[in-house]
Amino acid sequence: MTSTWLRGLTVGPVFVFGTALLVGGVGPWSATSLVVAAVLALPLLAAARPAWLGRLILPSIALFLLDGALTWAIPGFPTGGPADVIAGIFLGLPLWFLGILLGSPERPGIALLSLAAGLFSIVSTGSALSSIPALPTPTPEAFLRAWFTTDGHQLASLGGALAGGGLGSAPALPLAGYADPLFVALAFLALGGTLLPLLGTEDPHVRPPPTPSRRDLVPSVRRSVVPVLYATREPATPPRRASVGGRATVGGAVVAVAVFEAVAASAPAYAFLVVTLGVVATLLLLVRLQRPPRPEAAPGARPRPARAREL
Amino acid sequence: MIGRRGWETVVAALAALLLGLYAANAVLEVVAVAAFGFLASEMLVFERRFGSFGPDWFDVTRSPGPRRIPTDGDLATSVTVTLRHGPAFRAELWDTVPEAFDLREGATRLSTYAVPGEPVRLSYVLRPRVRGGYLVGPTNVVATDALGLCYRVAVLGESRALTVVPPTVAGRLGRIGVALFTRIQAGLSMRRRGFGTEFRALRPYQTSDDIRHIAWKRSTPTNLVVREFDQESRQEFLVVLDLSRGMDAGLWGRNALDVAVEAAALLANLIARSGEDRVGLLTYADGVYQYLPPGRGPGHFRRLFDNLALAAHRPGLSPLADLLEQATRRLDVRTHLFVFSSVDTAGAGLDRAYASLRAHGHRAYLFVPDRAGFYPPSPEEQATRAMTWAREEERGRLGRALATARSVGLTAFPYDRRGAGDRVLFAYTQIRAWGTVR
């Protein structure tokens, strides 16, 4: 099984879950919405050819610009055709993130960002759907209304928390409560599928570029077969298979999650503060450690003289 | 050092944390914390363990090899790197090789897993394309972490200086003319008839003899006799290279100066194997740049070939008249001058300078590059016609240069990118046989 298939099988289910959430929970979908969703799903083809990703996301960028223009231009909640377009974007968004994730095998940063953004979109969709009053089948327009309302409430609650006594005293945050057990399991499966295949890979940017060939300028004539000078012919060492490693990384992730859970359980209001402090401290330590060591002074070298005072 | 990939993932993990913070959703936040913990712990462990990574972690041994190789020779070399201490790591080794070298066998780069005490060897065969001075090495080792997020680089050992000399074609000429045999090789007596200065004998006059060689006092009106002379047993040669920009025509590695150097190396090789003659070198651009008096012996030829290998263009012009005058000043005994010059400026007083050179007993043979012939035809040539026009201009210039040289009595040969070796061989054979180029 190739690494692309493995990534698809581990990462794909959570995004399919996000799409299924909308397909099953909202209806009926207009043809416009389905076409827009299909256009947004185009980056999935980049799983086969990562080089195509740039071209495949161009139509979706045009759709995002159209979405932004519609949202700004239409007062109140969108209805009719514009609502179909925006609902189609919501429908295709999880597959769009999945396509970018699968189309960036050499860019783990992009893949991780796509995963996080995709999970966020699923959480916001799930929260919006759960806020819709119980109806036989909510329409896309009703879903959009619920989504904008939920998002507005989330912003208002965060604003209130910032103005008041922090998260401990904040009113209920609409997005905070979404924790479908299937979603949680699939989200962690996707995280493993995004990060664990990195073990044993390398950054192509670290390797220096190969020296440019100037074979076109080679003299065209070689006189005869030439001797090999100093043909020592010592055999080269065959490459040795690297140890995969990963104990430290997986251990670090487990410890980080355990600490977060412990703090969240004992003092939930301070959990995000602890995360922020921990992240800042880790970044400072990384920047400190990654500095190359100073070159040692040669034995017998004089200390640098103090700068002469300018007269 | 955190690489581009490392910074990219750190920024992505921070963005995930921010999204989790915005949503205040436990699932999103735990996923982001796990991702950040996963990445940060790998980076921290790597940076902690490889903080002192450097050349002192390794032993490096480079295989012995020559200091100079010809452009048509191959160089087999290897470098062995052993991790002395420290943790095992994923390593990428590569040896720095000049751009002008072709890799014939093996690889200059190896991705492997470095373990303390186990040697890792790079082994490869190179062929230089262009003469010159080069540095091979140093060897570089890059240590990367398991995720490819961080790396450290160590530069090991010193570079090795390598001089790439012109090709040694004289040893592979195949059948050569009798005139190019040494006297011992050919089984000839040490004394030969020729155009030297030492008297050998008298013989009856033939119609092809030079009338100036008739011994009038020994001759009668019915029986003319001529004097015979020994050929000079040891002849002096001087290679004169014009380094001005006029010799820069042509493609990289095969321009007019390169071809001239190749021909000069052929001459030096022929002289070296004769064991009798002596050869020197004079380079000129806006005045004499180098002068190596004619000589012989392994040390002299080594010096000569090194200087030929490193001959490069210099600013300034090379007026032919001054070039000949400067050479005349420096030579004491009769010498054959092989002058490779573009003759962009003949200079005032060329006839006087050449007459002075001849009066001192020297002979000069001029090799002028046909600059139009240094560029192979290209498909676009017919479309633009600019190249056709340029070729016509250059051919006109070459014709004028040759006419100028021949007008004062200089023997001149044009040459192009195919080489000047055949012309040099012809001239040298003539000199060995007759003492001059007829």
Greatest distance between any 2 Cα atoms in chain A: 89
The residue in chain A having the minimum alpha-carbon distance to the alpha carbon of residue B104 is A228
Per-residue model confidence as pLDDT tens digits over A239-287: 777 666 667 788 888 899 899 888 888 887 788 888 889 989 988 998 8
Q: Does A169 touch chain B (CB under 8 A)?
A: no
Per-residue model confidence as pLDDT tens digits over B183-226: 555 444 445 555 556 677 888 988 777 787 889 999 998 899 98
CA distance A308 to chain B (A): 34
Per-residue model confidence as pLDDT tens digits over B17-34: 999 888 888 889 999 999
pLDDT score of B52: 85
Pairing type for strands B139-144 and B254-255 reads unpaired
* Higher pLDDT pick, B11 / A270: B11
Q: Of all helices (H) and strands (E), which one includes residue A193?
A: helix A181-195
Decide if B26 and A179 are in contact by the 8 Å CB cutoff: yes
Q: What's the mean pLDDT in B257-277?
A: 88
pLDDT score of A266: 87
Q: What percent of chain B is predicted at pLDDT more than 90?
A: 32
Per-residue model confidence as pLDDT tens digits over A9-45: 999 999 999 999 888 888 788 899 999 999 999 999 9
- Secondary structure (H, E, C), chain B: CECHHHHHHHHHHHHHHHHHHHHCCHHHHHHHHHHHHHHHHHHHHHHHHCCCCCHHHEEEEECCCCCEEECCCEEEEEEEEEECCCCCEEEEEEECCCCCEEEEEECCEEEEEECCCCEEEEEEEEEECCCEEEEECCEEEEEECCCCCEEEEEEECCCEEEEEECCCHHHHCCCCCHHHCCHHHHCCCCCCEEEEEEEEEEEECCCCCCHHHECCCCCECCECEEEEEECCCCCEEEEEEECCHHHHCEECCEEHHHHHHHHHHHHHHHHHHHCCCEEEEEEECCCEEEEEEEECCHHHHHHHHHHHHCCCCCCCCCCHHHHHHHHHHHCCCCEEEEEECCCCCCCCCHHHHHHHHHHCCCEEEEEEECHHHHCCCCCCHHHHCHHHHHHHHHHHHHHHHHHHHHHCCCEEEEEECCECHHHHHHHHHHHHHHCCCC
pLDDT score of A213: 40
Q: What's the mean pLDDT in A56-62?
A: 92
pLDDT score of A135: 63
CA distance B153 to chain A (A): 10
CATH of B55-165, one of 3.30.70.120, 3.30.465.10, 1.20.1600.10, 2.60.40.10: 2.60.40.10
Contact present, B150 and B2 (Cβ < 8 Å): yes
Confidence band, pLDDT 50/70/90 cuts, at residue B14: very high
Decide if B4 and A243 are in contact by the 8 Å CB cutoff: no
d(CA A55, CA A60): 10
d(CA A25, CA A11): 22
What 3-state DSSP class applies to A38? helix
Contact present, B91 and B114 (Cβ < 8 Å): yes
- Which residues of chain B are within 8 Å of residue A279 when distances are taken between CB atoms? 14, 17, 36
pLDDT score of B406: 92
pLDDT score of B291: 93
Please tell me the CATH code under which domain B233-434 is placed.
3.40.50.410
- Which residues of chain B are within 8 Å of residue A222 when distances are taken between CB atoms? 72
Decide if B76 and A246 are in contact by the 8 Å CB cutoff: no
Q: Does A247 touch chain B (CB under 8 A)?
A: no
Measured between alpha carbons, how far is residue B272 from residues B68, B142, B257, B277, B303 in Å?
17, 47, 22, 8, 13
Confidence band, pLDDT 50/70/90 cuts, at residue B92: confident
The residue in chain B having the minimum alpha-carbon distance to the alpha carbon of residue A282 is B40
Nearest to A116 among B19, B94, B169 (CB): B19
Nearest to B254 among A109, A219, A227 (CB): A219
B184 sits in the region (left: phi over 0; alpha: psi -120 to 50; else beta) called: alpha
- Chain B from 92 to 121: CB within 8 A of any A CB: 92, 94, 97, 99-100, 102, 106-107, 110-113, 115, 118-121
CA distance A298 to chain B (A): 15
Could you identify the residue written with the tokens 């002395």?
A: B84
Confidence band, pLDDT 50/70/90 cuts, at residue A214: very low
Q: To probe the interface with B, which of A130, A178, A202 has the most B CB atoms within 10 Å? A: A202
Burial A88-125 (b: 16+ CB within 10 A, else e): bbbbbbbbbbbbbbbbbbebbbbbbbbbbbbbbbbbbb
Decide if A179 and B27 are in contact by the 8 Å CB cutoff: yes
Judge whether residue B181 has pLDDT over 60: no
Nearest to A234 among B28, B30, B63 (CB): B63
pLDDT score of A131: 84
- Which residues of chain A are within 8 Å of residue B73 when distances are taken between CB atoms? 226-229
- Chain B from 304 to 363: CB within 8 A of any A CB: none
Contact present, B13 and B39 (Cβ < 8 Å): yes
ipTM for the whole predicted complex goes beyond 0.85: no
Q: Does B147 touch chain A (CB under 8 A)?
A: yes
* Higher pLDDT pick, B190 / B56: B56
Neighbouring CB atoms inside 10 A of B376's CB total 11
The residue in chain A having the minimum alpha-carbon distance to the alpha carbon of residue B10 is A109
Q: What's the mean pLDDT in B32-53?
A: 89
pLDDT score of A182: 92
Chain-centroid distance of CA A227 in Å reads 56
Q: What's the mean pLDDT in B357-361?
A: 89
Nearest to A248 among B20, B41, B64 (CB): B41
Confidence band, pLDDT 50/70/90 cuts, at residue B251: confident
Contact present, B76 and A233 (Cβ < 8 Å): yes
Q: To probe the interface with A, which of B2, B4, B25, B81 has the most A CB atoms within 10 Å? A: B25
Judge whether residue A207 has pLDDT over 50: yes
Judge whether residue A91 has pLDDT over 50: yes
- Which residues of chain A are within 8 Å of residue B26 when distances are taken between CB atoms? 176, 179, 264
User: How many interchain CB pairs under 8 A, A with B?
Assistant: 295
Decide if B75 and A230 are in contact by the 8 Å CB cutoff: yes
pLDDT score of A176: 84
pLDDT score of B233: 61
Nearest to A237 among B36, B119, B253 (CB): B119
Judge whether residue B129 has pLDDT over 90: no
Decide if A120 and B19 are in contact by the 8 Å CB cutoff: yes
Contact present, B126 and B104 (Cβ < 8 Å): yes
Counting Cβ atoms within 10 Å, is residue B215 exposed (0-12), middle (13-18) or buried (19+)?
middle
Contact present, A165 and A273 (Cβ < 8 Å): no
Which residues are bridge partners to B230 per DSSP?
B193
The residue in chain B having the minimum alpha-carbon distance to the alpha carbon of residue A112 is B12
Could you identify the residue written with the tokens 């250059």?
A: B394
pLDDT score of A288: 84
Decide if A234 and B36 are in contact by the 8 Å CB cutoff: no
- Chain B from 10 to 29: CB within 8 A of any A CB: 10-17, 19-29
- Chain A from 4 to 33: CB within 8 A of any B CB: none
d(CA A150, CA A148): 6
The residue in chain A having the minimum alpha-carbon distance to the alpha carbon of residue B122 is A236
Whether omega before A28 lies within 30 degrees of 0, making that bond cis, reads: yes
d(CA A71, CA A79): 11
Per-residue model confidence as pLDDT tens digits over B297-354: 888 998 898 889 888 888 888 899 999 999 999 998 889 999 999 998 877 889 999 9
pLDDT score of A216: 38
* Higher pLDDT pick, A5 / A59: A59
pLDDT score of B65: 79
